[in-house]
Amino acid sequence: MLRALNATSSSSFSKLFVSHSTLLCFFHLSISSNSKKMEEHRTPSAVQTNIESRSGRQSASLSKSSLKTKVGQSSSLSPSRRSRSPQSVESQRMQTSPKRAIGASQEKSPGSESEEGPFDICIPAIKGLVKLNKSILVLNREKRKELKCPAEQYLRPGMVLLKKFLGHMDQVKIVNKCRELGIGSGGFYRPGYRDGAKLHLQMMCLGKDWNPESRLYDKSRSFDGAVPPEIPEELRKLVDRALNTSHKFLRELAENVEEIPNMSPDICVVNFYSNSGRLGLHQDRDESEESLKKGLPVVSFSIGDSAEFLYSDVRDVDKAKKVMLESGDVLIFGGHARHIFHGVPCIKPNTAPEILVDETTKLRPGRLNLTFRQY
Ligand code: SIN
Ligand code: MN
């Protein structure tokens, strides 16, 4: 099949193929007790070095392929609902001391000043200043930019990246919605693991609460009793559209390409990474046995600054592939890719679209990520 795919890729289909091998894994646990690997996961700087050394090779392989470009997405987002999703509970983190687990130190990361109060992903407006609406000129300029490069990329069986799938206006609406929910009840907080180590991000759950300490879903949060907001209907629609696009893309890609199952999200984990935020390699595997068995996909929205995203069959950064997730990208991994190890080793500062950081939206430096799943 791979050969068939590659043949197709160099033909007029011109889709992008990045990696290959499959292997099932799931959420945040599963331990490889190889001491080399353990060390890699414990030392963020080592992780970073490994990534840099691989990046040349990766981007070369990307640039060889051409992308099939598809245009045409926009939708409107409107208010109401909340929830949360699971993250990365590195298995060894739960078993070893905080300092040894990647991404787990007691240090406060910039942007986490909200540990004492609700975290606002946007810079609050200065009192007395009138908030301006975006001018038609700005909106048109953004529209032209976003039409330039939507495309789908086939990363491996079960894994598809929809480049710039979310239009700028959808991104603005998502930021506004996440901001509103994030400062309310059940909103952003800085989660910790069982051993007391803090994650390097702010998190909020929609639909169901995911507890990084117990790695269980619940109706309410154990630490303050708050009930996660529902997932806003507008977000569910975007997920639906992204899944439909990926299905169509895979159907047209080649014969016998593994389909990604459909799903209806009832959980969304919303993360906000400051520029020093990160997330160690982990699997998403706390959803129901049935959901995992069926390979119901995780649908991930990236908004704001770009991030490096690692994925691998094994929990080893040296073996991981890397892809850059930019604002508006939607990554989908289901089927045989549902159990991949994945993580975010770093955020790329000052890469967010202007429209998100300008005077009207004022997203903080950093990256907003929403991962939707079906329990
Ligand atoms: C996650 O794995 O929960 C988040 C991944 C991302 O931020 O892209
Ligand atoms: Mn995850």
**CATH number, domain at 362?**
2.60.120.590
In ligand 1, which atom is closest to the CA atom of 369?
Answer: 7
Two tokens at 101? 């687990």
The per-type count for the chain, helices as H runs and strands as E runs, is 9, 15
Q: How far is the CA of 271 from the centre of ligand 2 (A)?
A: 10
Q: Is the CB of 369 under 6 A from ligand 1?
A: yes
In ligand 1, which atom is closest to the CA atom of 282?
Answer: 2
> At which residue do the structure tokens 């200043």 appear?
129
Give the pLDDT confidence score for residue 120 in this predicted structure.
98
Task: Count structural domains, the chain.
Answer: 1
Please report the DSSP string for 171-201 in residue order: HHHHHHHHHHHHTSTT--B--B-TTSPBPBS
Q: Is the CB of 269 under 6 A from ligand 1?
A: yes
pTM of the model: 0.72
Give the pLDDT confidence score for residue 312 in this predicted structure.
98
Shortest-distance ligand to the CA of residue 370: 1
> Do the bridges between strand 330-333 and strand 267-273 make them parallel or antiparallel, or are there none, so unpaired?
unpaired
Q: What is the 3-state secondary structure (H, E, C) of 259-289?
A: CCCCCCCCEEEEEEECCCCEEEEECECCCCH
Q: Which residues of the chain have pLDDT under 50?
A: 1-86, 88-114
Give the pLDDT confidence score for residue 132 in this predicted structure.
62
Q: Is the CB of 344 under 6 A from ligand 1?
A: yes
Residues with Cβ within 5 Å of ion ligand 2? 284
Give the pLDDT confidence score for residue 350 in this predicted structure.
98
Give the pLDDT confidence score for residue 224 in this predicted structure.
96
Do residues 65 and 151 lie in contact, with contact meaning Cβ atoms separated by under 8 Å? no
Supply the Cα-derived Rg of the chain in whole angstroms: 19
**HSE (CB half, 13 Å, CA atoms) of 44?**
17
Q: Is the CB of 50 under 6 A from ligand 1?
A: no
Atom 4 in ligand 1: residue holding the nearest Cα: 87
Q: Is the CB of 19 under 6 A from ligand 1?
A: no
Do residues 151 and 70 lie in contact, with contact meaning Cβ atoms separated by under 8 Å? yes
Q: Is the CB of 342 under 6 A from ligand 1?
A: yes
342 annotated to bind ligand: yes
Give me the domain span that covers residue 177: 2-373
Q: How far is the CA of 36 from the centre of ligand 1 (A)?
A: 24
Atom 7 in ligand 1: residue holding the nearest Cα: 369
Task: Tell me the pLDDT tens digit for each residue of 281-303.
Answer: 999 999 999 999 999 999 999 99
Q: Residues of the chain with pLDDT > 70: what percent?
A: 64
Q: How far is the CA of 130 from the centre of ligand 1 (A)?
A: 35
Q: Is the CB of 119 under 6 A from ligand 1?
A: no
